[in-house]
């Protein structure tokens, strides 16, 4: 307990002790409790002093701390909201510039550079929030131009202004990453401002990509499927991550640490350094141990690669 708080308690208790005695003496001076002079005044003074020593200081300090935390949270949220709105306004202004340049062209084809569409990559909300597509471009593995439709920016802005904490954080992250990527020189980013029919953002992106003959960058499973069925080329960073993982073949031996139980109670689960899941048969009893396993089969899914293995040597064997 800090010395300053102890002093504050002593002062508070002393002041209320004196005030309690004075108040009791003013109202009870004509009567004595149990015929004992000043007994009532002393009891009142004692109760008031105890309240001043043990109750009131804590109430005051806790109230003050609550107000400070509330003000701090209010200021933080206000600053974050202001930054997010500023970024949204920036991209809205960029969209306005494009709209002015395209004034008079009402058709979709008139506002899209179809000739160079094959070098354009439309970014959806999930790819922007994920952010890895910008890292891949920065490393030089993507050539062309990123195109961000205004309806995607609007969706990001809506997330950034959401009352849900998780959605708000995702929206602000997307706006921050987009703002940072726009300053990079490796892959230019432009804003597409135009009208296109569609029931939702995914539908609009798919239709726009077909008109522009452009690719769509996304990590969203549903958009991946819809766009693929529609004949639109998809760039999915998750697929890229799976492709560049270390090649492992059945029969190879690995040493891994079993860290959790699998879906089957007898299975154990471990992971390679690149995040690949390894399901160990009869490995449930070895959780927490490092074991040598032999790969028995591989399973490739849209979520990634899964390896099934059998135990070759137990720990301490």
Write down the pLDDT at residue 170. 92
What are the tens digits of pLDDT across the range 163-214? 988 899 999 999 999 988 888 777 788 999 888 887 788 889 999 999 999 9
Cα 72 → chain centroid: 20
Q: What's the pLDDT score for residue 264?
A: 81
59 lies in some domain:
no
- Let me know whether 118 and 228 are in one domain: yes
Same domain, yes or no, for 99 and 209?
yes
Helix 165-182 / helix 56-101 crossing angle, nearest 10 deg:
50
pLDDT < 70 positions in the chain: 1, 20, 24-41, 83-84, 86-118, 301-304, 315-317
Domain boundary among 243, 270, 302: 243
Domain count, the chain: 3
Q: What is the pLDDT of residue 77?
A: 76
**99 plus 232 within the same structural domain:** yes
* Residue 79 placed within a domain: no
Q: Are residues 30 and 135 in the same domain?
A: no
Q: What is the domain extent for residue 196?
A: 88-243
The reply to whether 121 and 157 lie within a common domain is: yes
pLDDT for residue 26: 67
User: How many residues comprise the chain?
Assistant: 317
Same domain membership, residue 263 and residue 237:
no
- Start-to-end CA span in the chain (Å): 55
152 & 268 share domain: no
In a domain, 61, yes or no: no
Per-residue model confidence (pLDDT) at position 269: 94
> Residue 159: what pLDDT?
92
For residues 218 and 280, membership in a common domain is answered with: no
Would strands 120-123 and 253-257 be described as parallel, antiparallel, or unpaired?
Answer: unpaired
Q: Looking at the domain assignment, is residue 15 inside a domain?
A: yes
Q: State how far the Cα of 104 lies from the Cα of 90, in Å rounded to an integer.
A: 24
One domain, residues 110 and 233: yes
Q: CB within 8 A of 306, min separation 6: which ones?
A: 276, 277, 278, 279, 298, 299, 300
Query: Quick one: pLDDT at residue 187?
Result: 75
Whether 279 and 225 map to the same domain: the answer is no
pLDDT of residue 147: 93
Residues 133 and 197 grouped into a single domain: yes
The answer on 120 and 97 residing in a single domain is yes
DSSP string, 139-181: TT---SEEEEEHHHHHHHHHHHT-SSHHHHHHHHHHHHHHHHH
Q: What are phi and psi of 206, to 5 degrees?
A: -65, -45
Q: Residue 104: what pLDDT?
A: 41
Residue 72 in any domain: the answer is no
């Amino acid at each position: 307990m800090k010395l300053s708080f102890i002093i504050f308690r002593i002062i508070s208790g002393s002041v209320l002790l004196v005030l309690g005695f004075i108040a009791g003496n003013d109202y009870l001076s004509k009567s004595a409790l149990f015929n004992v002079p000043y007994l009532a005044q002393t009891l009142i003074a004692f109760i008031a002093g105890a309240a001043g020593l043990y109750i009131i200081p804590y109430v005051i300090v806790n109230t003050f701390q609550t107000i400070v935390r509330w003000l701090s949270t209010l200021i933080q949220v206000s600053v974050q909201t202001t930054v997010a709105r500023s970024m949204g306004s920036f991209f809205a202004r960029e969209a306005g510039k494009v709209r002015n340049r395209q004034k008079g062209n009402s058709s979709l084809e008139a506002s899209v550079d179809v000739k160079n569409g094959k070098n354009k990559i439309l970014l959806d909300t999930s790819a922007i929030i994920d952010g890895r597509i910008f890292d891949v471009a920065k490393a030089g593995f993507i050539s062309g131009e990123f195109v961000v439709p205004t309806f995607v920016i609007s969706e990001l802005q809506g997330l950034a202004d959401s009352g849900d904490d998780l959605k708000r954080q995702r929206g602000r992250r997307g706006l921050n990453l987009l703002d940072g990527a726009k300053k990079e020189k490796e892959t230019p980013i432009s804003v597409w401002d135009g009208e296109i029919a569609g029931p939702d953002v995914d539908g609009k992106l798919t239709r726009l990509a077909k008109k522009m003959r452009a690719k769509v960058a996304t990590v969203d499973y549903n958009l991946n499927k819809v766009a693929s069925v529609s004949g639109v080329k998809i760039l999915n960073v998750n697929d890229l991550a799976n492709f560049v993982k270390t090649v492992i073949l059945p029969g190879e031996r690995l040493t891994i640490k079993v860290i959790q139980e699998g879906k089957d109670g007898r299975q154990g689960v471990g992971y390679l350094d690149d995040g690949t899941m390894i399901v160990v048969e009869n490995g449930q009893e070895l959780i927490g141990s490092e074991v040598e396993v032999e790969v028995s089969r591989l399973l490739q899914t849209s979520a990634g690669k899964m390896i099934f293995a059998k135990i070759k040597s137990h720990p301490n064997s």
